[in-house]
Every structure is written in C-alpha cells, then in structure tokens.
Structure 1
Amino acid sequence: MLSITSAAGDVKKDHIYLNEIRVVSKIDGLYLNEWAGFEGGADTDTDGIPDGADNCPLEANPNQSDANNNGIGNVCEPQQITVASLGSEDGYLRESGENTEVGGYRNHWSKNGKSLRIGDDQINRQYKAVISFDYPELPDNAIISAINLQLSRSSGGLVGDTSALGSMGIELKSGNFSDNKALQNSDFEASATDTYVGTLVDGLTATASINSNGVSLIEAANNAGVKKVQLRLSFSTDDNNDSSYDYIGYFSGRASNSAYHPILTINYLLAD
C-alpha cells in the first residue's frame, strides 16, 4: 500500500501515473479515501474504469454496481443459495404396463429411503422419480454460473441389478410437469422443457451437475418470474426384462431427517 501524507492544513494536488493506486490522504484530521488525481493506467476489462479505481478490474462493469456496499463489484462476487426439495411434491411414478410409456401409479407419501425410485419392477414396468424445487430468494437478475443436485440413499436403496439399465438422466420442467404442482400419473410421460440436462452419479450421496443448457433455461425462467423447477429422473433403458425388481431408491423431501432431503445448489452473480 502507498500512503501519501501531508501536514495538517497543507493541501496539495499531484498527478500520479501508475496502473493501480489508492490515495489515502489526511487533511486537518480527516481521512479521504478516494481516487483523487489519478490519470492514465490500465483498464484490463475495457469498461472505461481504470483498474486501480475499478471494483472488479477483470470483468467489465461500467456501472460499478455493488449491492452490499462492500467494495467488490456484483460481477466479481459469487453468491450461492442451497434449496431443499418440496417434499409434498416429490415422489416416484410407475409405468402402467411394460412398454406403455404412460404412468399408471404414483407414490408421493413415502418417507423412507426408497421414496424416489429409478429403475423397473417385477413385471418390467419402469420407475421414474420427480423432485420439486422452489427458490423465491434467487434474485430476478441473477446470472447463474452452476447448478448442482444432491440426493441421499440408504445402504438398502440398491435393489436388484441395475447395471443393464444405463445411466440416470435428468429431465427439466420449468414450473410443473402436467401443469400441476402435485405429483400426477401423467407426470410419467408429460413433456419436459428439456429432456436431458445432466446425469446422476449414484452413491450414498448421489450428485449431478446441471449442464449449460439446463442452467440457461433455469436462469431465463427465473428472470421471467418462474422460480420453480421440477426434475424427472430415469434410466436410459426402461427395463431389463428379467421380471424382477431392479431399482435405486433415494430419500425424498419427506424424509424425517432433513439431512437426507434432496438439495439443489445454485451459484450465481448479480448483474452490474
């Protein structure tokens, strides 16, 4: 840090030609902390603000917006919210019959480690899971950088053999499947805003990163006032034709222990 001091009552004006400098002067007992007498210098982000005076010198922010007034520009200060799923809207769906590709049964009341099922049953009907998230606290002008999903399963959540069913893909619906927040049989086949936004990687803590297209859709919907998303999970192969239960079960938002609830983490920046 460079400090420039002068005797009390002595006021001087100088021109300093450096890339970055903050002039802190004490005049008559008062500290002045400002960019006074600064000329020239680099402007790395070409936003018209010299680096030394810029509250975010590596990202263009000509408005110098600083929502929390901490001296760091909005576009240089990452924010994060973590949202638990809406248990009353979570659940699993079962196909009406093998290869019908329509829902015939729903379960939205279970609280155990198999409340969200992905796989097939003993007569080769497919299981899909639906998870709901609400995030009214996400600002309208949020610039989302990443979204991650986390699910929990118990050691008893692995049933049969799912190895032949492929990967667990994630579909996204801005708002609600079937235009109804409550789980519906028709949510099994209801149209999605995007039919692939990520892959769930299994584990006692299962995780998925929402891809760039999914992030863009959630950001656009949020900025339009739709602060709700539903995710539908299913294996890429509907069933393995072995006439036995083969599925992975996870906890829903109805689990008694909130530590097991599905979690959506949203990383974002505020606009300049």
Structure 2
Amino acid sequence: MTAVPTLIFDCDGVLADTEQDGHLRAFNETFAFYDLPARWSVVDYAEKVRIGGGKERLKSLLTPEFVVDAGLPRDIAGQTEIVAAWHRKKTEIYTSLVADGVMPPRPGIARIVHAASTAGWNLACASTSAEASVRAVLSHAVGADLAAQFSVFAGDVVPAKKPAPDIYLLAINELGVDADDVIVIEDSNNGLRAAVGAGLRTVVTVSTFTVDEDFSDASLVVSSLGDPSPGETTRVLNDPLRIGPGALVSLIDLSRILAAPRFKHETHVHYNRKVAS
C-alpha cells in the first residue's frame, strides 16, 4: 500500500446538488418520453433517493399494477431490458442538463480539489450513478484538467450498491491505498454507511434531500465545504473530533481528521466476500 493521502468524493449532492433539478427532472422527462403513467413529485423523490442507483429507482416502479397499466413485459428478462433502455435515456437527458449548467457546483468543491491536487493527494469519485453522468458533473464542477486526475468508480462496477461498502472497498483496492489514508466526502446516510463500512473516515456535506438524516458516524458534518467571502461559508453541524474548521473546510482540516485517533463510531470492518471489478 502507498501512503498517499486520498480524497474520494461521492457525486450527487456532493459535487453538485443534482437531485431535484437534475435527476428528478431527468426521470420525469424520461417517463414522459416513454409515455409512462408516472411522475415523481419532490416528496416522492425524497423517498426514492434512499434507493441506491438509478436503475434500482426505476425498478421500484414495477409493481404488478404498474406493469399492467403501462403494458410492460411481465418476465424478468424483458423488464431488465426495458429498465436499461429507460436508464440510458435518463442518463442522456441528465448529462444534457449538466452541460446546460442547470446545477452549479457545491461550495468549496473546486477549491478543495485544487488544494488536494497541488499537495499531491490521490483524487477519486465513487458513485452509484452512471459513469457518464458522474464524469459530466465532475468536469462541470472542477474543470476538465482537474477532472482528468480523478479515478472514477461508478454505476454497475459492483453488484451491491450503497449502503453496501463494495464500491469503496473496490476503490481503495484499485487505488492501492490504505483505509487510514483515505477521507470520503459524502452527503447521505447511505453513502456514510458505505464508507464507514469500508473502514473510511467520512466528512458529510448535507444536501437538500439529506439534511435530516442520521450522520452520527461521520468524522465531521458541515453545511458545505465553504468558499471565501462572498461565497457560502461553512456551518459546522457536528464535530466529534473537535477539528474546528472556520469559515471553510481546508485541506489542513482534512489532514487533521486523518491524523486524529478514530472515535468510537469508526472501526475497520473486514469483508470476506469478493468484490467484483
């Protein structure tokens, strides 16, 4: 293992607040394109975001009643094929929305990525979203040059999605780094459980749909990473390690988290099952 500090970002809700103006809109436009009897409200989608993965959210539509009403195949193979087609269309719509600048990057993302790159940290992104969607958001959030420095683990690279730890276990294995040298930036309880389950320290930047979730296992919980004035500054929501970030979370703050003894919630968890690559 190489002792190089590593920063792994989730995508949706972390790099940009993508869910309501991006994914929800893309899902509903996909439903309209295929003339499906479904439209998700913001309230509906607040429940759907608890399901890891876009295909998995689409599969939640497939109740017996919906299958009949929409005239869909009743066999598993046929349903799998049609969900894959819906998801391809949804990804196409979503990446177009990203390109149109509908979803601005979250505060502090470009700043902290630039600082980490300059300091020689590894950079990665681990997300249940489709890889094309992740790369589009990443490039929009940090620029093409910094985005090119990222290793991306996304979509169906592992069979069990968050809150299973598989994608983070795959990431640290492929990056060749030790869990003690990694900090994850997440925004949801599902993501936090996945990261902590892989033995990784985690900073949570709450987002629109996750602000009320349980983040008691996080090393630090903040409103955002923050940017210098006149940008949005950081509000600390939970700081169990007493890192004490100021108006913004800095690379020094992240280094202090890595150097701090693990607090009671943080444990290394060993998994015997093989993680697909």
Question: What's the TM-score once normalised by structure 1's chain length?
Answer: 0.27
| Structure richer in helix, relative to its length | 2
Question: What's the TM-score once normalised by structure 2's chain length?
Answer: 0.27
| Structure richer in strand, relative to its length | 1
Q: Which gives a bigger RCO, structure 1 or 2 (Cα 8 Å, sep 6+)?
A: 1
